[in-house]
Amino acid sequence: MNIPLWFAVVIIGYLGVKLTHVPRWMVFVLLIGGFLLADSFLGGPIESGINGGASIIGGSK
């Protein structure tokens, strides 16, 4: 089953607001900030840091 990324983000954002009661503006700021960071020079180091942390937690090196 293939769903568009925007649809998945909308559903996850909606559930996040309903279940955790965070303000909608905070969800929008985090989504826009994450989108802008992913396309900046910080995108590569953030991705490698997340992958490195996941491999340490997962037990593979």
CB-CB contact of 17 with 27 (8 Å): yes
Supply the pLDDT for residue 56: 82
pLDDT greater than 70 at residue 61 = no
CA angle 59, 45, 43 (to 5 degrees): 120
- Placement of tokens 């969800």 in the chain: 27
Supply the pLDDT for residue 24: 83
Q: Is the pTM for the entire model greater than 0.85?
A: no
Supply the pLDDT for residue 9: 80
Q: What is the pLDDT of residues 5-59, one digit of tens each?
A: 778 888 888 888 889 888 888 888 888 888 888 788 888 888 888 788 778 887 7
